[in-house]
Amino acid sequence: MSREVPAVFGSVFSPEMPVIAFEDGAWQKVRWQSSAEMSFPPGAHALHYGSECFEGLKAFRQQNGDIVIFRPDDNIARMRQSARLLHMPVPEADTYRAALFELVKRAADIVPDAPNALYLRPTLVGTDPVIGKAGSGTTSALLYILASPVGDYFKVGSPMKLLVETGHMRCAPHMGRIKCGGNYASALPWVVDAKEKYGANQVLFCPGGDVQETGASNFMLIQGDEIITKPLTAEFLHGVTRASVLQIAPDLGYRVSERDFTVAELKQAVEGGAEAILTGTAAVISPVTAFVIDGKEVPVTGGQKRGLAIRKAITDIQYGITPDRYGWIHKVA
């Protein structure tokens, strides 16, 4: 099989995928099926009432030939949390993990070389075929996992302009830490509008002036030797890459400040030479090059050097260039 990376991120999948069904009050054995199509009842709870959540993580081909997965247990734990908060059947961690690793093993031939990766998309959907259950959670579900060879979501070093949005939230505040399609859909009107009006790549949601996250990534400021980011709350996604940056930062000479900060502080910091970055599984770290604040473009004059250095420190561990001192890397047997 080819180890080439398709031009469009996440558009090509491994031929088969694992599927685990929750039926009659219990999780069933893993079955394998084609990833080309999947059937749901037309009345499936996920299609009508949004009982759906997903994860994103990556497998890497290291320079010694080993194939590894980056922080899988953190993603499994986050999906289990999402399922609980959505009142869905909660996947069994061990079965979920075994299916994930078996998928990567079966897809070994399409795990690309550095700087590319195999993107993994576990998805949990509610399948109760009853459209009268708007007021209750689904009692049946399917967990399946897609694998897709990918390159960078954003080209490293390319322009990254953010519109600062203070009038709207990314999603309902109590839903923010759930990784579900509804939250991305909730942000989409503002993201599309920002692209059309300002040529912005994403929207930084700052309701009432409180700097939170973009439509698809966590956000950080790098001011001198300090990394500043909002503390964990229910309002935004608790990113695995975010956690990785904050864990590795002290070893790179940074102080970490998890605190609330305002758009006014952000603007002042950027005008004073601070860097800004987005963090997430797909892009790892994307340095921000400009903001649109109150209709005016504010360039990030501090450059991208520090953000790209942090990115390299993480990707060097992922590709086996430097040792993993944090327990992030899990070898696929």
- State the pLDDT confidence band at 6, using cuts at 50, 70 and 90: confident
- Tokens 């080309």 sit at which residue? 36
Same domain, 193 and 141: no
Residue of 105, 155, 161, 179 with catalytic role: 179
Q: pLDDT digit string (tens) for 31-58?
A: 999 999 999 999 999 999 999 999 999 9
| 179 carries an active-site annotation | yes
Predicted TM-score (pTM) of the model is 0.96
Residue 1 pLDDT greater than 60, yes or no: no
Query: CA dist 254 to 23, 127, 251, 274, 324, Å?
Result: 49, 46, 7, 13, 19
pLDDT attached to residue 292 = 98
Q: Say if 331 falls within a structural domain.
A: no
- Quote the distance between the C-alpha of residue 194 and its chain's center: 21
Total count of domains within the chain: 2
In the listed set 108, 124, 150, which residue is the last one of a domain according to the structure? 150
Give the tens place of pLDDT for each residue, 291-317: 999 999 999 999 999 999 999 999 999
Residue 27: give its domain's CATH number.
3.30.470.10
Which residues does 320 contact at the CB level (< 8 Å), separation at least 6? 60, 62, 63, 64, 66, 68, 329
Q: How many CB atoms lie within 10 A of CB 235?
A: 20
Domain residues for the domain of 114 are 16-150
Q: Which of 150, 175, 210 lies at the terminal end of a domain, its last residue?
A: 150
Mean pLDDT, residues 75-98: 98
